[in-house]
Chains A and B, each alone.
Chain A
Amino acid sequence: MAEFWRWKEYNWHDENKDWRDGELITAGVDVGSVSSQAVIVVDGELYAYSNMRTGSSSPESANNSFNWAIEGTGLTLDDVGFVIGTGYGRVNVPFSHKAITEIACHARGANAMYGPSVRTVLDMGGQDCKVIRCDEKGKVTAFAMNDKCAAGTGRGMEVFADLLAIPIGEVGELSLDVEEEPPPVSSTCVVFAKSEATGLLREGWSKSKVLAAYCSAMAHRVVTLLEQVGVEEDFAITGGIAKNSGVVTRLEKELGIKALPFDTDTQIAGALGAALFAQNLLRKKLAKAGK
């Protein structure tokens, strides 16, 4: 049976750059509840990354994502001066020098990805969702996290992709293919929402319409969270759901605010922030050592 939730794993490195030309090489490893990313930064510039599914062991996921990020670059762990672990498994990154929360890392990552004008970051992750306010440096000034359920997260979207047999990457676009916006599913729990969706399908709703109802419910839930801390522009979204136009479009509509467009993979924001913090700490460490 096809696994419609299964998103593509990938790695990338900058072919036009040679890390050997750089001075400060650092890494950030974000072991999330659903996906893990490793990012290598050379002198503050994104050099390589990977994005893969988190396995049952955090240390293994950390190792795998790091090894995949450096694949084909000739880089080894010994060449990396400072590693920061973040995410759900942040304390289980065996080769890290320090752990920092994904809240701080996403703010820092979004600052690098979207520029210093970002004041509100919405991270829609695999199993949690956070709203982070930050200053021009990307330092957190306030935050809120969902704490009741996983309905506004990637895991919920995966459940729906599977239920409707729609590849996860197509869910967003398909949900926009409706003549009229249906009312959102009322349940806040993924499992109940799934039951509700099954009922709607039985009533003859199209897949697009059911997805529209779910994306809109997710957008609405997230807006509630955003309102807890307040939204100040510029507004940016990180995490996997940032790539889901069905949720983002509805979110923007409800907020009356546009999210900044992105040209860097939104799922690496946390690991990128971690790698950038690592740059600062490595620089300070070297300065202290008189190098």
Chain B
Amino acid sequence: MFDKFRDWEQNRHDYAKDWQKHNGGKVIGYFCTYVPEEILYAAGVLPVRILGSHEPQDVTEPHIFGMFCPFCRDCLAQGLKGRYDYLDGLTIAQSCLHIRQTFTSWEKHIPLEFTYYMPHPMKVQSPRALPYLVSEIEIFKKAVEEWTGVTITDEMIKKAAEVYDENRRLMREVYELRKAENPPLSGEEAMEMVISSQLVDKAEHNEELKRVLAELPNRDTGRETGARLMILGSEDDDIKFINMVESCGATFVTDDHCTGTRYFWNTTPEGNGDMLESIAQRYIDRPRCPSKDWEDRSRLDHILKMAKDWDVAGAIVIQQKFCDPHEADTPTIRKALNDIDVKNLFLEFDVTVPLGQFRIRVEAFLEMIGDEDLFD
């Protein structure tokens, strides 16, 4: 049932090239889910999120310091190896310095007709964040207009936001179904669904979501649910890892990842009719990346509520090795989870994960939270 999402996820480059060929439009690669994609989409541009390929590589060493996160190096490797040679443009919204280095290095070494670095409020909790972001989006919009030759009207932005919001609502509906005692989809399928949404035309993704949602409530996956887990932390598109954990007798029922709920959780608010402000408001309000969630850590309550609502027995807290923003958040989050008696396991991810070494930790964790009575 989720084959299409998997196909998109696995053949992302083919999809983008086909789209480009058939639509004659421009494709832009973006880093970080704070990029206001609605503006690009309104101008008829296809935004595709740049992700790594989880293969060992040796091309980024001269460009990125070894203690920057594996994800940012993996992404740059994709560029340097020419895997994204079809891109017309490249953009980023400021989140962390590691991924910004990827953007900067890419921009320097790979010629593109359009590149744009978008500053983005680092303290989204500040009352000044909204006007700041509105004006940045305004400037971004002008740059996109100049690049594409398209004048982006409010009406066009509104339409784009509608497509995006529909996508967000539909994916959230799928997540709601994961609250069931036996969720009709695995965590692996859910991850493929969300990641693919970052790679393909949202309108097309919406159609597929509607098709899936029509059948999903009655679907019998034929697999044991086992322990209900959530996974949270930094960028994570490590489907192999999700698969390994779920093969040990568990099911992921929700997440807090930018390749998961943080990407689609909230929709564009009604607002006062100013579309740029409404869009900006959404990016301010969305579940936050820890690089921006200071000093209130609103993300914490979000995670704890989700753990309760989705009735999780345990959480796997992961981070890309050397990811400073998550390193700052992890101890606090783990403590808060412990306080509400959600046991958790912490793992550091690299470009490739040591599945054998992780398996023992995961199995031991599942034994720890499991109810199998090995004891009197």
Decide whether A and B are members of one complex: yes
Interface residues of A (CB under 8 A from B): 88, 100-104, 108, 137-143, 145, 147, 277, 280-281, 284
Known: A145-B361, A147-B357. A104 touches B367 (CB 8 A): yes
A55 to B343, CA, bound (A): 36
Q: A280 touching B367 by the CB < 8 A rule?
A: no
Q: A143 touching B376 by the CB < 8 A rule?
A: no
A-B contact sample (20 more), CB < 8 A, given A139-B368, A141-B368: A101-B363, A101-B364, A101-B367, A102-B360, A103-B360, A104-B364, A104-B367, A108-B374, A137-B375, A138-B375, A139-B375, A140-B364, A142-B343, A143-B361, A143-B368, A145-B357, A145-B360, A145-B361, A281-B374, A284-B373
A88 to B354, CA, bound (A): 14
Residues of B close to A143: CB separation below 8 A: 361, 364, 368
Residues of B close to A147: CB separation below 8 A: 348, 357
Contact of A140 among B367, B373, B376 (CB under 8 A): B367
Which of A102, A147, A281 counts the most B-chain CB atoms under 10 A from its CB? A147
- Least Cβ–Cβ distance between A149 and chain B, in angstroms: 12
A102 to B357, CA, bound (A): 12
Q: B368 touching A100 by the CB < 8 A rule?
A: no
Interface residues of B (CB under 8 A from A): 343, 348, 357, 360-361, 363-364, 367-368, 373-376
* Pairs across A and B, CB under 8 Å, 6 listed: A101-B363, A102-B360, A139-B368, A143-B361, A143-B368, A147-B348
A101 to B376, CA, bound (A): 19
Residues of A close to B363: CB separation below 8 A: 101
- Least Cβ–Cβ distance between A272 and chain B, in angstroms: 14
A101 to B368, CA, bound (A): 10
Residue of A nearest to B365 (CB): A143
Q: B364 touching A280 by the CB < 8 A rule?
A: no
Q: B357 touching A140 by the CB < 8 A rule?
A: no
Residues of B close to A142: CB separation below 8 A: 343, 368
Residues of A close to B361: CB separation below 8 A: 143, 145
- Least Cβ–Cβ distance between A92 and chain B, in angstroms: 12
Residues of A close to B360: CB separation below 8 A: 88, 101-103, 145
A139 to B375, CA, bound (A): 8
Residues of B close to A141: CB separation below 8 A: 368
Q: A137 touching B367 by the CB < 8 A rule?
A: no
Known: A147-B348, A147-B357. A103 touches B376 (CB 8 A): no
A145 to B356, CA, bound (A): 13
Contact of B374 among A88, A102, A103, A280 (CB under 8 A): A280
Residue of B nearest to A148 (CB): B348
A149 to B375, CA, bound (A): 33
Residue of B nearest to A104 (CB): B367
Q: A140 touching B375 by the CB < 8 A rule?
A: no
Residue of B nearest to A276 (CB): B374
